[in-house]
Structure 1
Amino acid sequence: MSRIFLWLAILLTTGFIVKGQDNVVQALKREINRTIKKDNDTTGWNWKRGGLFSFNLAQGSLSNWASGGDNFSLTANGYMNYFILYKYKRHFWDNSIDVNLGYIQSTSLGSRKNDDRLDYLSKYGYKMDSLGKWYVSTLINFRSQFFDGYTFNNNQPTFTSSLLSPAYIILSAGFDYKPDQYLSIFISPLTSRWIVLANKSLSDKGGYGVPAGAGNFNQIGAFITLNYSNTIAKNVTYKGKMDLFSNYQSRPQNVDLFMTNLFSFKINKFFSATYSLDLIYDDDVRLFGPSKNSPGLQTKSLIGIGFLKPLNTKRS
């Protein structure tokens, strides 16, 4: 499975780069026959900020329902993205934060969360070419959650995660390719990744690739992240991110995958349907259960109809 993800990433990345190289060649041909301008390198301060907020709520109830089911269920999910971009001459600074929170209440299962993620990304780049497509860049990424997490076997909760347990911190240097305003491909041959287990009870047990009692663990490897956001059809927008990490120190052929996908289907000015799909493959995470002692693909999908509010984009 890990090799499939690796080859998929290589094919996608190669396709994007080949397409981008063709665009670069065509653009260079156009530049030969026009007067060279330095507008991109002489503009002043340029800040841009904006984002998206959505909230979905679903409720169900049954009474004397012959086929069975929960007498009552309530599900609430919220998503918020906010970004701040800064461009000045050849400098580019990109900051974004994604917050996902979800909660479910039902008569049979009680209350529990069904979504919880905090993801912050800060990336600085210096433009290398006159076309503004290649940047030498550094990247910092922090990913964790807000609340305690549990797995449920026979409806019995087992404490498995918490704030900063685990937390993933990535510090990376490499090259950022931006063929257009929708796509960014960051490639780093040298990346440092820390896995943190701040909770003492979880740290004492170990897991997530962290040795028991250590509290944190560092890995050195290669890192690729692809970010894409665009309106793919009328009233349909897509925002996706895919991270790939290969640990040089242990089983580098087993590539870790973290992928998020969010589709928004606009109904009217304030309401939309949303569908999210998250995929995770971490070679250091052994799935829970009596017979599961190997890594596997983790999937999570959520669908709902609710309130959608674009956060105003501002420039300064």
Structure 2
Amino acid sequence: MRKVFLPAPSLLVILLIGNIAFGQFQETTEKLKAFKPDSLTGWKKGIALGINVNQTSLTNWAAGGQSSFALNSVFSGFINYKSPNTSWVNTVDLGYGILSQENVKYIKKTDDKIDLLSKFGRKASKNFYYAALMNFKTQFATGYNYPNDSTRTKISNFFAPAYLVSAIGMDYKPNDYLSAFLAPLTGKVTFVADTMLSNAGAFGIEKGEKTKEELGGYLRIVFSKNDFKPEWLKNLTLTTKLDLFSNYLKDPQNIVVNWETLVIMKVNQYINVNLNTQLIYDDKVKISKDTDGDGVIDSNGPKIQFKEIFGVGITFKL
């Protein structure tokens, strides 16, 4: 069987983690059902690592089929601070998955995500905080489109795209489960560092440019709960996050949507069943498709992007 290697993060990822989002760990603390406070008053921290593996081997199998190996890994963690008048959330969410199939030339990605977030708030009234947020997203490795099993075309790369959102607004937190952050003043920068993709004008930037700046409004709603009261839900963790962005300077009616949902059902201390979905719509991202199956691209425009990952795996918590 062919050996499968996961690409290591480059030095630039380490610098980003250190300089853009120091100590940042992601709100996807949905994988952590028990938070243990740090020795410092008001601080809480935690990490979780999940690995799902699927392997199929067929030899002289009369019914047909294809041997394959799939691996999907996620890492999430947080360092949060809370006092009567201050809230500071620092989080990281990483994911990477691959699929290797017999007689298929290339190993394909099934997941690839770097998501760093920091949100600081000062209490304004009972359920409202003045808040500032910074969110950075990109991916680890090159992404390809596969017209067939023997050819591929590069469509994304590390830092191509990358998104940096900086926002100032109000955060509504009526309880520990819900946060609704509304920022009428938001800056968004899209990076496309790959020269080939930049020259093609990928991800809505001007051809030959490396960055695109936008000014607009931003809404982020997060619901995360892992202590449901009904007996049949006591092992369930649900987290859903909705991000909406409108560019004031061009087509403000075209809302950029990013909606992620994670459902985890705990089987025992280490084993869990999880379902992860993500829906994206961005009118500036053009999706090329062969709609009639003749091998010729005949559709190129904005489309709803949807990803679903279902797995049974091992989760380690600290």
Coarse TM-score class (shorter-chain normalised): 0.7 to 0.9
**Which of 85, 91, 109 is the aligned partner of 1:90?**
85
**Which of 45, 62, 75 is the aligned partner of 2:58?**
62
Q: Tell whether the 8 Å contact from 2:288 to 2:301 is kept in structure 1 after alignment.
A: no
Q: Which has the higher helix share?
A: 1
Q: Is the aligned partner of 1:300 residue 2:307?
A: yes
Q: Is the aligned partner of 1:236 residue 2:236?
A: yes
Q: Is the aligned partner of 1:78 residue 2:85?
A: no
What are the superposed Cα offsets for residues 51-78 of structure 1, whole Å, 9 maximum, x if unpaired? 32211111112233344321x1111111
Structure 1: 5+ residue stretches without partners: 1-43, 312-316
Structure whose alpha-carbon radius of gyration is higher: 1
Matches within 5 A, 1:1-316: 45-70=41-66, 72-109=67-104, 110-129=106-125, 131=126, 133-155=127-149, 156-231=151-226, 232=228, 233-289=233-289, 290-311=297-318
CA RMSD of aligned residues (A): 1.5
Q: Tell whether the 8 Å contact from 1:279 to 1:298 is kept in structure 2 after alignment.
A: yes
Distance in 2 separating the partners of 1:209 and 1:68:
43
Shift in alpha-carbon separation, 1:185–1:51, aligned structure 2, 3 A: farther
Runs of 4+ aligned residues of structure 1 deviating over 6 Å after TM superposition are none
Secondary structure (helix, strand or coil) at the match of 1:284 reads coil
Is the deviation greater in 96-105 or in 236-245? Answer: 236-245
Alignment-mate amino acid for residue 239 of structure 1? T
Distance in 2 separating the partners of 1:181 and 1:192:
28
Secondary structure (helix, strand or coil) at the match of 1:208 reads helix
Structure 2: 5+ residue stretches without partners: 1-39, 290-296
Which structure is higher in RCO with an 8 Å CA cutoff and minimum separation 6? 1
Distance in 2 separating the partners of 1:151 and 1:69:
23
Shift of 1:107: 0.9
- Tell me the residue number matched to 1:6: none
Q: Tell whether the 8 Å contact from 1:286 to 1:292 is kept in structure 2 after alignment.
A: no
What are the superposed Cα offsets for residues 14-38 of structure 1, whole Å, 9 maximum, x if unpaired? xxxxxxxxxxxxxxxxxxxxxxxxx
Query: How many residue pairs get matched?
Result: 265
Percent identity between matched residues is 35
Secondary structure (helix, strand or coil) at the match of 1:268 reads coil
Secondary structure (helix, strand or coil) at the match of 1:288 reads strand
Alignment-mate amino acid for residue 203 of structure 1? S
Shift of 1:154: 2.3
What are the superposed Cα offsets for residues 231-253 of structure 1, whole Å, 9 maximum, x if unpaired? 25221111221111111122211
